[in-house]
Amino acid sequence: MTHSTAIDDHPAHDQHGNGHGHAHPPLPAPSRQGSVVLDIGAGTGALVIHTTSAEDALEIHVSPVDLPEQRTHAAVRPRHLPGRTLYAAVITPLPAGRYTVWSQDDTTHGSITVTGGHVSDYRWT
């Protein structure tokens, strides 16, 4: 997990000129729009739905397989990586279990198992 803190807010930063005997490596840049923090644990996981750029901004819905009316969703967003951009919707946290991934016409696109403490990957295309 990446943690980003402004240097002036870092508790070890010398704000009063007293020093503390060692230097800190540069901190990562602040999170950009589209960055994600995953809230996963023993009973919850995350779902990353990989798409193409054609699905940018599309809202993708998922529901527990046995509770189709209990849907949650996330929008597909560009994920900027060094040298390339990927597109994905990230849904977190999700209770561990089997999920239906819904198409835009309200039909089943597919299904996926979300495991607690893990990230599950689903290919939209």
Q: Which pairing describes strands 119-123 and 108-114: parallel, antiparallel, or unpaired?
A: unpaired
Quick: pLDDT tens for 108-124.
999 999 999 999 999 99
For residue 30, the one-letter residue type is P
Q: What is the mean pLDDT of residues 58-73?
A: 96
Note the pLDDT of residue 80: 87
Sketch out the chain's domains with CATH numbers. 33-123 (2.60.40)
Nearest to 86 by CA among 40, 48, 30: 48
Taking the whole predicted model, whether its pTM rises above 0.85 is answered as no
Note the pLDDT of residue 36: 84
Quick: pLDDT tens for 11-40.
333 333 434 455 657 766 655 665 788 999
DSSP string, 55-73: GTT-EEEEEETT-TTS-EE
